[in-house]
A and B are shown apart, each in its own frame.
Chain A
Amino acid sequence: MRKTMFFLVLFAMACSLWAADPIIGTWKLNIAKSTFPSNAPPPPKEQIEAYRYLDTGEIELTYRLTDKDGSSVLEVFTWPAQGGAAKMIKGNIPKNISWIQTLIAPGEWYVTAMEDGKQLGTRHKTISKDGMIYRQSWKRTDSRGKPYEILLVFDRQ
Chain B
Amino acid sequence: MRKAMLFLAVFAFTGSLWAADPIIGTWKLIVDKSKGSQPTTDPVKEQMEVYRQLDSGEIELTLTRTMVDGTSSVSKLTWPAQGGTVAFVQSDPRGRSLVETLIVPGEWYVTYMRDGKQYLIVHKVVSKDGRTLFQTWKGSAGLASGQLVDSTRVYERQ
Contacts and interface: CB of A to CB of B under 8 A. Distances in A.
B118 A110 contact: no
Nearest to A85: B116
B102 A84 contact: no
Query: For the complex, would chain B's binding face be called helix, strand, loop or mixed by DSSP majority?
Result: strand
Interface residues of B, number: 18
A42 B11 CA distance: 34
B82 A119 contact: yes
Classify chain A: how many residues form its interface, as a range. Answer: 10 to 19
B142 interface: no
Interface string A95-135: 00000101110000010101001110010000000000000
Nearest to B104: A139
Interface string B112-146: 01001111010000000000000000000000000
Contacts of B77: none
Nearest to A80: B117
Given A83-B111, A118-B84, A119-B82, A102 B116 contact: no
14 contacts: A80-B116, A80-B117, A80-B118, A85-B97, A85-B113, A100-B99, A100-B113, A102-B111, A112-B99, A112-B101, A119-B80, A119-B83, A119-B84, A119-B102
Interface of A: 80, 82-85, 100, 102-104, 110, 112, 114, 117-119, 122
Ranked 9 nearest A-B pairs via Cβ:
A119-B83, A83-B118, A117-B85, A85-B116, A80-B117, A118-B80, A112-B101, A118-B84, A84-B117
